[in-house]
Structure 1
Amino acid sequence: MRRRTDHHSVNWSTAPAVATPRLMARVLGTFYVAAGIAGLFAVLGPGAAQQSRSLTAVLAVAAIAAGATSLHWGSRWPRRVFHCLVASASLVIALVVAVSPDAAIAMAAASLLAFAAVDACFFFSLRLAWAHLLLGMSATTVALLVQGEVPISIALALNTVVAALGNVTRGLVIRASSASRDPLTGLANRRGFDDALQELLAAAARRDEPLSAALLDLDHFKQINDTDGHEAGDRVLCRVADVWRHELPPSAVLARQGGDEFAVLLPGTAGADALALVRRASAGHPEISVSCGVAEVRPGETAAELMRRADRTLYEVKAAGRGRCELAGGTGSTLARDLAAALAADDVAVHYQPIVALPGGAVVGVEALARWTHPERGAVPPGEFVPVAEQSGLVHALGAHVLRTACADLAGVRTAAGEQLTLGVNVSGRELTDPGYAQRVAAVLADTGFPADHLVIEVTESLLEGGSPDAVATLQALRDAGLSVAIDDFGTGFSSLSRLDTLPADLLKLDRSFVATVHSSPRRAQMLHSLVAMCRGLGLDIVAEGVETAEQEAAVRAMGCTFAQGWRHGHPVPFPGLLAAQAAPAGGVHRG
């Protein structure tokens, strides 16, 4: 892919990308405080007249106060305020030079101009930076001449050093900025976007202001590259970047994440307003269709969670036909509306996948799984409609439907050994943080007659890593009521090994990626063997997910896994299909 060198690329004529308000405030505040402290030291020197000593002291205290103000509130200021403060610093330095009692103090004060030079070359475009430099050097030179004890040659030498320092600083800053810029469009790249997201998220929480994020893809972009060539694709990307840069407000952060993926941050903008903005921007290039997902940050939400919701909304838009912009959980979500209607009409089915005991292979339990067939689209994958339920708030209704249906179906269903069949039900984080969830589960068990000691609540490893006190308290209440807790998809997170002895869990369901590589990766096999041994030592039963072959079953059996689940022992099927498929006496299930 070729590079462009037009006015959108990173160059010396634009303000450095790393000069964010937060960083500008820190640098300016530090320099102001340092200059004020230096001025106080100068006041303590011998030989200074009382009048000049008093004036310098006042200016030094004022500089320290200004620096402290910048450090505390500067991240909220617009860029024009920094122009005033840098120019003011240059003029104050010139004033101190002019009233200095001798050449030594005058030169010491004049050397502080280096602070203003670094600020100007760091904060502003090259043209404006040189305007500040010329202002500061001219004022300081005149002040040195007025002071009368410093030759003009020394003043010019000082100006040369200050100008060189400012320009070297700018070169280093521009080099740092280029690492955060996309060379084709001149927009922020993924690294620059991530840095901006962390900063704006912290600012939004601090100021109690809204923040929205958007992710967009160009529809059928690969076809453009394949048909017309990569140069045509580059022109399309730059066209989109130009339009969105023009349509979005100055405070917005627009980034190219890679390929045909763009991302937007809109500080101070609520979700509905952000949706209107991105729809207006996308209308600016009607010849280029885009799909876009928008999400507004929720209280306490992390950057990853915010972008995950925007990404899920984008996925939903693309799955529903592309060419639209939608808000996460918004009323414009067609799939969410259809799912709500399906739940109201009892059109979401529950299928069951067998879980067998090892080593014998007898069916001892099942996992209940939601399945939805859309009247127009056909079967909708759970990986698509479950996130939509999460975003739209339908997950409570979906979870309640699956739990009640499964408990009613399986109450009194026995294994070949005559034991009640164990039931596993997936539960989301939103359900667990609901204070009334445990009571509703108890009510379902009472209504259906399903025994609590044969119900397993399955939660993901990432949910437990989050450490939500409400979720953990709900899990503990469920365990106290006789239910078991399983950690689902274990091995996809990062912190669980250190917390295995503290998690409120009875079973671990090993992620299918472990089983899939048990023969191809000796290191993964050894890791799995050690993990199973450690869990068994902690009294945790192990369910190996994704078991598809006899070889995989033999491997997890040899490692000591307690149970196995996967296509080798049965696909997810409706309840009548479960009874029919498992009717054989050897390990089947039946109604008691």
Structure 2
Amino acid sequence: MAPTTRTGTPDVVVRTTAGLFLVGGGAAVLLAVDVVRTGDPRGGMLLAVAVAAALTGTVLLVVHPHLPRRTLGALLLVGAAALGVGTALAPTPTLALASASLAMLLGVESTLFLRRRDAWVVVGFASAWQVVPLLVVHDLPVLVCASYVALWCGVAGVVGVLAQHASTAGIDALTGLPDRRAWDAALEQAIDRHERRGMPLSLVLLDLDHFKRVNDEHGHAVGDELLRGTADAWRGLDVPGMVLGRRGGDEFAVLLPGRSGEEAVALADRLCAAAPTAASCGVAEHVEGETAAEVLRRTDAALYAAKAAGRGRTVLSERQPPRLVDDLADALAARELRVELQPVVDLASGAVIGVEALARWDHPRLGRVPPADFVTAAEDGGLIDDLGATVLALACADGQLLEAAWGRRVLLGVNVSGRELVGQGYAQRVLRALDDAGWPATHLVLEVTESVVEGSGPAALRTLTTLREQGVRVAIDDFGTGFSSLSRLDELPADLIKLDRAFLTTLATSPRRRVLVRELLRLCEELEMFVVAEGVETAEQALLLQELGCRAAQGYRYAAAQPVAELARVPWGQLAPPSGSAPPPRA
């Protein structure tokens, strides 16, 4: 990491040092002017020293470099020597004492920003530079000089104690890193500098993979040691300017001034390689005009995407078209989004047993926006809850139109974002929306991918469990593309499995694939999980699936997603499905 200080960032050190040089130089200029007015030749030398100190402060404010501790210590020693020269040149004891009093400023800064031992070296050196000319040049009593030294040391000691307390206020007690509040404050400052100077700025959020499992299986003491070890490993990397913090739990944050998103990805990979355990990373480059909350949302969405994609990887937040989030907000407010319904059919009879609602957005300028793009924009822009609520309401309304046209009930499938699942009060919002729409919870199927459930952690599992207790059914979508561990099938809070189209690509040509699908179907039946095969495109695939024991399918073989008005006119929608062709309602 970049050199840090006890109570602030390097920028704070520079501003404080510059301020003290300006204050000290300004005060010395006033003393020197008084000496010059008396005609004493030493006034010119004293004025030169004073002006040099003031100019040093001005240069520091203009150039604004990041000062390492050693450079800061050297500047303080130079300042002490300059004050010593000023004290020696003072024409009267009174002016000498006034000059010596300025040494207190050096003691204050040294105890604020230097290590305790280094701070007292500066205080001792500054005291010596003042006491010697007071005793030798101005022949002041020893007790007077001793009182000044006691005053300097007393003030420095008190400030040191205050600095110690202040420095721990924004520090995480476990890791010694800046905590959430301190890191967020550093982010606000960095954004301000980014916009004033035009320099790039990137953020990284990191989560330790399966950290909860470490705590559960090995205890919190082991988890705490893992967090400390991770912080120490990352702190040891030589990355100038990096601001590393812990935002809580197993989430760490990195601020990278002067680095683009691509450079931040490379650094995130270095951090992951140095960590004592696997980690997932989300990266975002700040875009001009973004607030701290907005860029953090994008970074958090990228982190979530990394975990949902299988963990142990880094995802860079892609910049959406500049107005896409704003346009999506406008479209949601104007109710411009719609849904299309794709049938799920009984393989034996061809009857529709349910539909999956798929969100659609026709942008007035961009045309049809892919769902992956506007869902990402919604997550980045904090609109995901609004988007999810809109799609659920539209799906329920279209489902009712379809049931009215067909004269019977159908299951309604709606896709759920992982960000929605972990949102506070999501289960209650869904149940309230169903009540408002008059759609029974027992005929709603929430579709989530296995990787979303895994990546969202315990919060998602609790939400799904709550909804299932109220009758809502849960489908694991795209099964076969995430972790897909058969040993975890009995742990997933699910009623349906939607078999990914990847299983069907070689079904007709691979005997081993057919064995795998047959055994998976048998296992799901034993676990009372209803299976729907996705992406069925040919009659051969449909026949093979039926022979293997699959009862339901979805895909272009039957129908593409279409508006409810078109689907309601399809004649085979009137055919009632046979008994057992749909998953039984939850008790």
TM-score bucket of the superposed structures, by smaller chain: 0.5 to 0.7
CA distance in 2, matches of 1:381, 1:119: 64
Match 2:435 to one of 549, 573, 583:
549
Partner of residue 257, structure 1: 247
CA distance in 1, matches of 2:342, 2:273: 34
Partner of residue 285, structure 2: 296
Partner of residue 575, structure 1: 562
Q: Secondary structure at the match of 1:69?
A: helix
Confirm whether residue 91 of structure 1 aligns to residue 81 of structure 2: yes
Q: Which moved more, 1:320-329 or 1:30-39?
A: 30-39
Query: What is the Cα deviation at residue 256 of structure 1?
Result: 0.9
Aligned pairs for 1:236-275 (under 5 A) are: 236-275=226-265
Match 2:196 to one of 203, 206, 229:
206
Query: What is the Cα deviation at residue 89 of structure 1?
Result: 1.2
Distance 1:141 1:320, change over 3 A: same
Which residue identity lines up with residue 325 of structure 1 in the other structure?
T
Q: Deviations over 1:51-98 (max 9, x none)?
A: 121122222222222222223333544444422321111111100110
CA distance in 2, matches of 1:182, 1:371: 50
Distance 1:29 1:238, change over 3 A: same
CA distance in 2, matches of 1:228, 1:380: 42
Aligned pairs for 1:306-385 (under 5 A) are: 306-329=295-318, 367-369=337-339
Match 2:368 to one of 401, 424, 439:
401
Distance 1:67 1:576, change over 3 A: closer
Q: Deviations over 1:422-464 (max 9, x none)?
A: xxxx989999xxxxxxxxxxxxxxxxxxxxxxxxxxxx9989x
Confirm whether residue 153 of structure 1 aligns to residue 143 of structure 2: yes
Q: Secondary structure at the match of 2:239?
A: coil
Asked if structure 2 preserves the Cα contact closer than 8 Å seen for 1:102 and 1:149, the reply is no
CA distance in 1, matches of 2:72, 2:246: 28
Q: Secondary structure at the match of 1:295?
A: strand
Confirm whether residue 123 of structure 1 aligns to residue 113 of structure 2: yes
Match 1:183 to one of 170, 173, 176:
173
Asked if structure 2 preserves the Cα contact closer than 8 Å seen for 1:211 and 1:268, the reply is yes
Which residue identity lines up with residue 299 of structure 1 in the other structure?
E
Query: What is the Cα deviation at residue 574 of structure 1?
Result: 4.3
Partner of residue 163, structure 1: 153
Distance 1:242 1:21, change over 3 A: closer
Asked if structure 1 preserves the Cα contact closer than 8 Å seen for 2:297 and 2:382, the reply is no
Partner of residue 225, structure 1: 215
Percent identical: 31
CA distance in 1, matches of 2:154, 2:92: 26
CA distance in 1, matches of 2:62, 2:87: 29
CA distance in 1, matches of 2:25, 2:241: 32
Query: What is the Cα deviation at residue 305 of structure 1?
Result: 2.4
Aligned pairs for 1:490-509 (under 5 A) are: none
Asked if structure 1 preserves the Cα contact closer than 8 Å seen for 2:108 and 2:159, the reply is yes
CA distance in 2, matches of 1:238, 1:225: 14
Q: Which moved more, 1:319-328 or 1:177-186?
A: 319-328
Q: Secondary structure at the match of 1:143?
A: helix
Distance 1:139 1:71, change over 3 A: same
Q: Deviations over 1:504-536 (max 9, x none)?
A: xxxxxxxx9xxx99xx99xxxxxxxxxxxxxxx
TM-score by length of 2: 0.57
Q: Secondary structure at the match of 2:174?
A: coil
Distance 1:462 1:75, change over 3 A: farther
Q: Secondary structure at the match of 1:575?
A: coil
Match 2:90 to one of 80, 88, 100:
100
Choose 1 or 2 for highest CA Rg: 2
Q: Secondary structure at the match of 1:185?
A: coil
Distance 1:365 1:183, change over 3 A: closer
Distance 1:130 1:400, change over 3 A: same
Unaligned runs of 5+ in 1: 1-7, 9-13, 331-353, 356-363, 374-378, 390-394, 406-425, 432-459, 464-485, 491-511, 522-544, 554-572, 584-592
Query: What is the Cα deviation at residue 248 of structure 1?
Result: 4.8
Query: What is the Cα deviation at residue 398 of structure 1?
Result: 11
Q: Secondary structure at the match of 1:249?
A: coil
Unaligned runs of 5+ in 2: 320-331, 344-354, 391-419, 440-559, 571-587
Asked if structure 2 preserves the Cα contact closer than 8 Å seen for 1:15 and 1:124, the reply is no
Query: What is the Cα deviation at residue 323 of structure 1?
Result: 1.0
CA distance in 1, matches of 2:136, 2:38: 17
CA distance in 2, matches of 1:128, 1:157: 23
Asked if structure 2 preserves the Cα contact closer than 8 Å seen for 1:23 and 1:75, the reply is no
CA distance in 1, matches of 2:382, 2:300: 21
Q: Deviations over 1:460-480 (max 9, x none)?
A: 9989xxxxxxxxxxxxxxxxx
CA distance in 2, matches of 1:279, 1:380: 38
CA distance in 2, matches of 1:244, 1:427: 35
Q: Deviations over 1:16-38 (max 9, x none)?
A: 44232322233222222222222
Query: What is the Cα deviation at residue 135 of structure 1?
Result: 1.4
Distance 1:251 1:461, change over 3 A: closer
Asked if structure 1 preserves the Cα contact closer than 8 Å seen for 2:342 and 2:562, the reply is no
Q: Deviations over 1:358-393 (max 9, x none)?
A: xxxxxx9874148999xxxxx99999xx9xx9xxxx
Q: Secondary structure at the match of 1:188?
A: coil
Aligned pairs for 1:396-435 (under 5 A) are: 400-402=367-369
Distance 1:276 1:29, change over 3 A: same
Distance 1:290 1:382, change over 3 A: farther
Match 2:17 to one of 22, 28, 34:
28
Aligned pairs for 1:38-77 (under 5 A) are: 38-45=27-34, 48=38, 50-77=40-67
Query: What is the Cα deviation at residue 320 of structure 1?
Result: 0.8
CA distance in 2, matches of 1:83, 1:71: 18
CA distance in 1, matches of 2:561, 2:282: 34
Q: Deviations over 1:29-51 (max 9, x none)?
A: 22222222222332344785521
Asked if structure 2 preserves the Cα contact closer than 8 Å seen for 1:15 and 1:125, the reply is no
How many matched pairs?
387
Q: Secondary structure at the match of 2:207?
A: strand
Distance 1:365 1:64, change over 3 A: closer
CA distance in 2, matches of 1:313, 1:266: 16
CA distance in 1, matches of 2:286, 2:382: 23
CA distance in 1, matches of 2:187, 2:169: 16
Which residue identity lines up with residue 338 of structure 2 in the other structure?
A
Which residue identity lines up with residue 319 of structure 1 in the other structure?
A
